[in-house]
Amino acid sequence: MPKTARPRRSVLYMPGSNVRALEKAKSLLADGLILDLEDAVAPDAKETARQQVCDAVKGGGYGMREIIIRVNGLATPWGYGDIAAASRSGADAILLPKVESADAIRHLEAVMKANGAPESMAIWAMMETPRSVLQSQHIAESTPRMTCLVMGTSDLAKELDCAHTRERLPFITSLSLCMLAARASGLAILDGVYLDLKDESGFEFACRQGAELGFDGKTLIHPNQVAACNKVFTPKADDVEWSRKIIAAHAAAAERGEGVAVVDGKLIENLHVESAQRLVKMAEAIEKMQGSAIAAQ
């Protein structure tokens, strides 16, 4: 299964300093959880949060949710300790903030290896500065561990000195460049957060825009955003049915020695089948994840 075929519709930031939040996350229907040691944690709570997050991950109970630990940068007093502890925690991935070069990722990987991180532990990168965007291809290609680029649009807006508009036109170039880098390397890519919790229509618009741009999902700041986000990024039943139909038709054509098939008057080629197969796998993975979450409640 391609790296991008794992459900990442909704990936929720959870403050590592809040034990109750870490426990509540076990019952949320988010596809992934970013247990945050960086922005959400005050300096005097950093080491306590690190221990709480690692204990929570080791304790389990998160089901099929993807668990990512966002560490502090290596230039901070807490970065090395965060990475060392996260490497032994059993998390699925480590998210490095403010990545601006491939060397930063390779440095992170070296620390992970030195502290016993398994080969299966992935690396995610925050893309939240102009240099991040300009170096996105090199960052995406830095290591086979790289799995996902995460847009940090709040920091990016500050760095670009641009406005947060509904249509996000000031971000389009940055979003597109990172999207190209991710897809060229077979990576997933997540859209940035939406900060106005009272603006439900604006949030839905942002989710739909992100889906149309090609994002795998969206990072979130509140549990109340999960359901609406999942709804937008879940493949539609009609699309899944159509995908299964063209997969079957193309397979039948191949058995007859034909390279293309015609379904409902539309020419179906291999490129359509590849997209259809990914969509069907995604739908099946989502169904499996939802079934697991419901059974655990």
Digitized pLDDT (tens) for each residue of the chain, 297 residues in all: 345 668 999 999 999 999 999 999 999 999 999 999 999 999 999 999 999 999 999 999 999 999 999 999 999 999 999 999 999 999 999 999 999 999 999 999 999 999 999 999 999 999 999 999 999 999 999 999 999 999 999 999 999 999 889 999 999 999 999 999 999 999 999 999 999 999 999 999 999 999 999 999 999 999 999 999 999 999 999 999 999 999 999 999 888 998 888 888 888 888 889 889 989 999 999 998 887 766 665
pLDDT of residue 99: 98
pLDDT of residue 1: 38
Separation between Cα atoms, residue 179 and residue 188, nearest integer Å: 9
Separation between Cα atoms, residue 287 and residue 290, nearest integer Å: 5
Separation between Cα atoms, residue 55 and residue 66, nearest integer Å: 16
Domains detected in the chain? 3-233 (3.20.20.60), 237-296 (no CATH)
Question: For the whole model, what pTM was predicted?
Answer: 0.93
Angle, alpha carbons 215-151-130 (nearest 5°): 130
Q: Which residue, among 36, 35, 54, 42, has the nearest Cα to 115 in the 3D structure?
A: 54
Q: Which residue, among 111, 33, 42, 98, has the nearest Cα to 69 in the 3D structure?
A: 33
The token duo for 27 is: 């019952």
Separation between Cα atoms, residue 40 and residue 19, nearest integer Å: 13
**Dihedral of alpha carbons 291, 223, 163, 38, sign:** negative
pLDDT of residue 130: 97
Report phi then psi at 35, rounded to 5: -85, 110
Find out whether 70 and 97 touch, Cβ atoms under 8 Å. Answer: yes
pLDDT of residue 296: 64
